[in-house]
Structure 1
Amino acid sequence: MIKSFKQTFLSLELQSPKWSAGETEVQDYDLRHYETAKWASTVIKGETQKEVLRQGFWKLFHYIQGKNEREMKIGMTVPVTCLVKSGCPDFKVSFFVPFKHQHSPLQPTDPDVFIEEQKRGAIFVRSFGGFASPEKYAEEAQLLARILKNTGQSFHEDFYYTAGYDSPFKLFNRHNEVWYFKKRVVFG
């Protein structure tokens, strides 16, 4: 398993969800319009986000390594996301389902892993480098929230996502993100 873990994460051509750039006039964040996509997810309750991410990652990694209805290996994708809700001890960790399986994802055999569809939406994204800790993600999320408020953006403040793109074996030029979903404007 360790060999396949390393091989999976040393690949440089990992698939990620499709998005297009939105118009922003601020250099501190991007606005992306993500297409509807399916994700493999698990909800983990824990005391620390670091432990939750580790547990959630391994549940999902086992799914892509064959713990699914067809016992088939599925390619690793990026990012690995984690939903963080204010005051909630539950965290949702997710892997993007590869394009080959988007139409008909392989069903997990672990009852704690499920397939969900994330509807298309606009997401404010702040990128940063280095090894990201839960504290660093929280700091970047707070900074992004402050910037969005100062620029008059309307967004869902009660939750954010962390997004990690790199293998733990990658030492330099690491890429991490925090995401806030833009609120839809309702007319009428």
Structure 2
Amino acid sequence: MEITRLMIMAVNVLCLIALCSAIETPQYTVIHRESNFEIRLMRESSWMSAAVKELSFEKATKFGFHRLFEYTQGANLNFSRIAMTAPLLTSVVPDAGPLHSSAYYVQFYLPVAFQKTPPTPLPELNLEHSVWPSRCLAVRTFTGFAMDGNVVKEAEKLAVSLSRSPWANATSPDSVYAYSIAQYSPPLRIFGRINEVWVDISGSVLDDCKSVRIAEY
């Protein structure tokens, strides 16, 4: 029991150190900003994803991150160590199973050095490499811990803000995710935590994500 407790503490410390040193983030341009949300044009980006079937957002994030962390520490066919990045992204897939249970994709943004050719993860980790094309996102920032009790509320607040903007009813019908929660802070940080809600919107990338209703304002 004591050994197990010490191992858990060691993993937490490693996670803290890894996320504290995160310096690379996805690249984007802010197209529009209001007091409680902004519209971003995200550049094409490459991610390593862990699919998790779990009712709890917190448990899904924890289980997915554990697999991704093993990958960054050398659990790949190249035995490569990969620097941690930010954010850790948990994407929610609604109504994905029996009794309307949810599924999640916990996603790790690959550093620039591995964006094109990431090391192949060990099969037992069950990870998948995915490339996101350039996309339009609505983003809301919130503080504190991202937990089961608040992530849905934060997503709903973003939906309300969008409903009062030129992007009303602009959520993308092509997105496989209801929304994503981006966490930028180390797991043991108590104060000054930064999180975001991401929602795909259907603004045209070629037109800098502008809504057709912009002209009405």
TM-score (norm 2): 0.79
Corresponding position: 1:79 with 2:87: yes
CA gap 1:185/1:4 in 2 versus in 1, 3 angstroms: closer
How far does the alpha carbon of each residue in 1:28-58 deviate from its partner, in whole angstroms, 9 at most, with x for none?
1011111101100011101212111110010
Corresponding position: 1:176 with 2:195: yes
Match of 1:95 in 2: 108
Structure 1: which 5+ runs fail to align?
Answer: none
Task: Please say if residues 18 and 84 of structure 2, whose CA atoms lie closer than 8 Å, have aligned partners that are also in contact.
Answer: yes
Identity between Structure 1 and Structure 2 (%)? 26
CA distance in 2, matches of 1:113, 1:101: 15
One-letter amino acid matched to 1:20: T
Task: Please say if residues 67 and 110 of structure 1, whose CA atoms lie closer than 8 Å, have aligned partners that are also in contact.
Answer: no
Corresponding position: 1:166 with 2:185: yes
Structure ranking higher in helix proportion? 2
Q: CA RMSD in A?
A: 1.8
CA distance in 2, matches of 1:29, 1:6: 28
Match of 1:155 in 2: 171
Corresponding position: 1:145 with 2:159: yes
Q: 1:20 aligns with which of 16, 19, 29?
A: 29
Structure 2: which 5+ runs fail to align?
Answer: 1-9, 97-101, 206-217
Larger Rg: 2
Q: Give the count of matched residue pairs.
A: 184
TM-score (norm 1): 0.90
CA distance in 2, matches of 1:115, 1:185: 25
One-letter amino acid matched to 2:140: R
Match of 1:10 in 2: 20
